[in-house]
Amino acid sequence: MKNIFTSVSVWLLCSVMCYGQLVITELSYNPPEANTDSLEYLEIYNAGDSPLNLKKYRFSQGIEFTFPDTTINAGQYITLSVKAASFLTAYGFQTMQWTTGALNNGGEVIALVDSLGAPVISVDLKDVAPWPTALDGTDGNGKSIEICNPLADPNNGGNWKVSVNDLGFQINGKQVFGTPGAENTIPACAQEPDVIVELSSNTFNPQHITIETGQTVRWINTGGHHNINGKQSSFPSNPESFDNGPASDLFWTFDFTFNTQGFYDYKCDIHGAQGMTGTVTVNDPVVTEVYPLRSIQDMTTTKLDGVLDSLNVNCTLTGIVYGVNLRPGGLQFTIIDNQNNGIGVFNNSGNYDYTVNEGDEVEVKGQVTQFNGFAQIVVTAVRKLSEGNSLVTPANISAFEENDESSLVTMSNLSFVDPSEWTGMGAGFNVTMTNGTDNFTIRIDNDIDAYSAPIPNSSPVWSVTGLLGQFDSSLPYTEGYQLLPRYLVDFSPAGGAEDESLDNDLQVTPNPVTNILTIVTDSNPELILVYDGKGNLKQKITGSLEIDMSSFASGFYVIKLVAGQKSNTIKVMKL
């Protein structure tokens, strides 16, 4: 809710912006002089960003003075006094002297208009609370009054305080405080309330209000003998107590910040029986999440033309990282959930202090977009949640389909159509493989180890594992699918990596591994072979299901179990 100062503040802001933000920032309306007020002054400040010429600007209320051809620069002060010579003697610098009139010790309106008579400044000066009073040290006691912020509402007496700057001299035994012609030194303004309730004619206006936790309500007594009583002793159901003490017929304000959610009753002790009661409903703030948590599966569904249902939706996604970073100057990798639903992660130039490692669980925030039919989230934040997580089992597929985009998949019984396509050149290259009936595009990115390796040639038939991508430059997005291997070891000779005839439930633990890798199998392998990512044989093991990999370099390895004519392989990552 907005407070009742909103309209005043908007009018004030408009007026000061239109006129270079010219404001009155300091007043000394009753200096501690005997039988004369020769040291009265007021200070004007240009809070704008550009100079302002004041020629023919004049005070229409309070004092009489018309400015000559005078320019006040941005951030500059001009001081006007009732008697410039007396001011010079006391304060040591020259001021402009207004023509006639004096500042009224009991309060008055001080108004300035421009050369056309349009209002520029209007301050309704008072000498009663909440304005500073003689008890605070002004009004004959030596202290000027200063506004807490040049852009604060000047008609709110709470925004004015007595100066705390000691000028080092006395007048009639009273120490003089002020900052004429200089920046004010009083504390910053108190925060304005979120809601204002007026008390008058034995009513609260408004009577019932709704706010959020942490917001402040200000009650202002504009007339009558009233108080605020929301104590738990009077209203046991109130979540906390609030009150301002005994009733008073003086002008008073009372602020209370509600930090506990719930429903509050309160009353005026004097007139509560006549219906002078009110309520405050305090709700917890409704937090709108800019990037709400969503699932990868929900963010990657498409229409019949291949366009994402969630195109341009902001969200937070979590998943396991697969593959390497295909954009070293930024980010380009894939995350997959435990159901093998995946999506690309992309940022053109930022990595958010994240180094891509397969097996990491990450949380990403950003906007779901589509690049040539390929679904990706353009991220604004990346946070690693854990590392070394197990990967999903690749889905065995025989055709490229939209439902498998960014999933980990394997195609079996493939052979190269034209080995000369394996060029190792450019930002990456495409090779065509066939199952004897259909052709499939295999994309070798220049950021994976296969790019600089020779074409796999140890077998005429291959099983290829990778992430299904898409590059379709026009609607409908139903073509252009590509299989992107992550590593050279994603090419496995037929009867190798995907041959599960030895043990369909083969597992290794831990994976990723730091030191000892344990093979979990129901079979009885005669031989265990360990290959690095380039296909080099690193170790042969017999008679044991444990492999000491502590001395191995970090990277991916293939573990092959052999028993007679049967074999089975599994990939592991060494940290």
Residues 526-535 have a mean pLDDT of 77
Which of 52-66, 197-211, 409-423, 510-524 has the lowest average pLDDT? Answer: 510-524
Q: Which residue is associated with the tokens 């190792």?
A: 424
Question: Residue 385 is which amino acid?
Answer: L
According to DSSP, the residues that pair with 573 across neighbouring strands are 556
- Angle at the Cα of 162 (from 217 to 156), degrees rounded to 5? 35
Region(s) of the chain under CATH 2.60.40.1260: 6-177
- Checking if the pLDDT of 5 tops 60, the result is no
The percent of residues in the chain predicted with pLDDT above 70, rounded, is 93
The percent of residues in the chain predicted with pLDDT above 90, rounded, is 65
Residues 264-278 have a mean pLDDT of 96
According to DSSP, the residues that pair with 248 across neighbouring strands are 226
Interatomic CA distance for residues 562 and 523, integer angstroms:
10
Residues 111-123 have a mean pLDDT of 90
The end-to-end CA distance of the chain, in Å, is 56
> What pLDDT was estimated at residue 503?
66
Q: Which candidate, 472, 490, 469, 492, places its Cα nearest to that of 334?
A: 469
Distances (CA, A) of 20 to 201, 260, 526: 41, 43, 90
Region(s) of the chain under CATH 2.40.50.140: 296-386, 395-493
Q: Which candidate, 514, 513, 500, 512, places its Cα nearest to that of 560?
A: 500
Burial 125-145 (b: 16+ CB within 10 A, else e): bbbeeebbbeeebbbbbbbbb
Which CATH fold would you assign to the domain 6-177? Immunoglobulin-like (2.60.40)
212-261 residue pLDDT tens: 999 999 898 888 899 999 999 999 999 999 999 999 887 777 889 999 99
Which CATH fold would you assign to the domain 195-283? Immunoglobulin-like (2.60.40)
Distances (CA, A) of 66 to 48, 60, 73, 398: 21, 9, 18, 90
Q: What is the DSSP string of 461-517?
A: SEEEEEEEEE---SSS----EEEE-SSGGGEEETTSTT--SS-TT-EEESSSBSSEE
CATH architecture designation of domain 395-493: Beta Barrel (2.40)
Q: Which residue is associated with the tokens 């026009």?
A: 474
Question: 3-state SS string over 505-542?
Answer: CCEEECCCECCEEEEECCCCCCEEEEEECCCCEEEEEC
Region(s) of the chain under CATH 2.60.40.420: 195-283
388-441 residue pLDDT tens: 898 999 999 999 999 999 999 999 999 999 999 999 999 999 999 999 999 999
> What pLDDT was estimated at residue 9?
34
- Can you give the pTM of this predicted structure? 0.48
CATH code for the part of the protein at 507-574: 2.60.40
Which CATH fold would you assign to the domain 296-386? OB fold (Dihydrolipoamide Acetyltransferase, E2P) (2.40.50)
Distances (CA, A) of 509 to 497, 512, 549: 18, 8, 12
**Could you give the 3-state DSSP secondary structure of residue 52?**
strand
Residues 340-347 have a mean pLDDT of 97
**Residue spans of beta strands (DSSP E) within 115-226:** 119-126, 145-147, 160-162, 166-171, 174-177, 195-200, 203-205, 208-212, 215-221
